[in-house]
Amino acid sequence: MNSAQIEIQLIASLVAIACAIPGTFLVLRKMAMISDAISHSILPGIVIGFFITQDLNSPLLILLAAFTGIITVVLVEYIQKTGLVKEDTAIGLVFPALFSIGVILIAKNANDVHLDVDAVLLGELAFAPFDRLFIGGTDVGPKSLWIIGSILITTIGLLLAFFKELKLSTFDKGLAASLGFSPAIIHYGLMSVASVTTVGAFDAVGAILVVALMIAPAATAYLLTTDLKKMLGLAIGFGVLSAISGYWFAHWLDASIAGSITTMLGFIFLIVFLFAPSKGIIAVMYREKQQRTEVSLLTFLLHLKNHTEERERHVNHLQEHINWQKVRAKTVLDLALKNNMIVFNKNIVSLTEKGDTFTSKAIDYIITNEDAQIEDMKEDFFLFRG
Partner 1 sequence: MKEQSQNKETPTYSGVLAVKVDDLTVAYNYKPVLWDIDLEIPEGVLMAIVGPNGAGKSTLIKSILGILKPIAGSVSIYGKPYDKQRKLVAYVPQKGSVDWDFPTTALDVVMMGTYGSLGWIKRPKQKEKKAALEALEKVGMLAFKSRQISQLSGGQQQRIFLARALVQNASIYFMDEPFQGVDATTEIAIINILKELRKAGKTVIVVHHDLQTVPEYFDWVTFLNVKKIATGPVKDIFNDDNLTKTYGINYKVSIQE
- Which residues in this chain contact partner 1 in the complex, by CB under 8 A? 28, 83, 161-165, 167-168, 170-172, 174-175, 177-181, 222, 225-228, 230-231, 371-372, 375, 386
Instruction: List all residues 6 or more positions away from 245 whose beta carbon is below 8 Å from its beta carbon.
Output: 264
CA angle 189, 190, 195 (to 5 degrees): 100
* Residue among 228 and 348 whose Cβ is closer to partner 1: 228
Nearest one of 307, 293, 216, 206 to 258, comparing CA atoms: 206
227 or 380: CB nearest partner 1: 227
Residue 156 to residue 204: CA distance in whole angstroms: 20
Please report how close the Cβ of residue 179 comes to partner 1 at its closest, in angstroms.
4
CB of 82 to partner 1, least distance (A): 9
Shortest CB 231 distance to partner 1, Å: 5
Count of other CB atoms within 10 angstroms of residue 291: 16
Least distance CB 173 / partner 1 (angstroms): 8
Kindly tell me which of 177 and 322 has the beta carbon lying closer to partner 1: 177
How would DSSP label each residue in 8-26? HHHHHHHHHHHHHHHHHHH
CB of 358 to partner 1, least distance (A): 22
Rounded to the nearest whole angstrom, what is the least distance from the CB of residue 137 to partner 1 in the complex?
41
What residues have CB less than 8 Å from 379, skipping those under 6 apart? none
Give whichever of 165 and 310 is closer to partner 1, judged by the CB atom. 165
Residues sharing a CB contact under 8 Å with residue 46, sequence separation 6 or more, in sequence order: 56, 61, 64, 65, 102, 115, 120, 199, 202
228/377 with CB nearer partner 1:
228
Q: Which residue's CB is nearer to partner 1, number 230 or number 330?
A: 230
Find the shortest distance in angstroms from Cβ 368 to partner 1: 10
Smallest distance from partner 1 to CB 314, Å: 40
| Separation CA 281–CA 260 (nearest Å) | 26
Q: How far is the CB of 159 from partner 1 (least distance, A)?
A: 12
Q: For the chain, where are the alpha helices, taking DSSP H only? A: 3-28, 32-53, 59-81, 87-108, 117-122, 143-171, 173-178, 183-205, 207-222, 228-253, 257-275, 281-306, 315-322, 326-338, 353-368, 371-380
Residue 90 and residue 40: Cα distance in Å, rounded?
14
Residue type, 100: S
The distance of closest approach from Cβ of residue 95 to partner 1 in the complex, given in angstroms and rounded to an integer, is: 25
25/300 with CB nearer partner 1: 25
> Which of 185/282 has CB closer to partner 1?
185
If the CB atoms of residues 161 and 315 are measured against partner 1, the closer one turns out to be 161
Closest to partner 1 by CB, 1 or 372: 372
| Closest by CA position to 25, among listed 268, 223, 191 | 191
- Cα–Cα distance between 201 and 150 in angstroms, integer? 11
Count CB atoms within 10 A of the CB of residue 107.
11
Rg for the chain, CA atoms, rounded: 29
What are the backbone angles phi and psi of residue 133, rounded to the nearest 5°? -100, 130
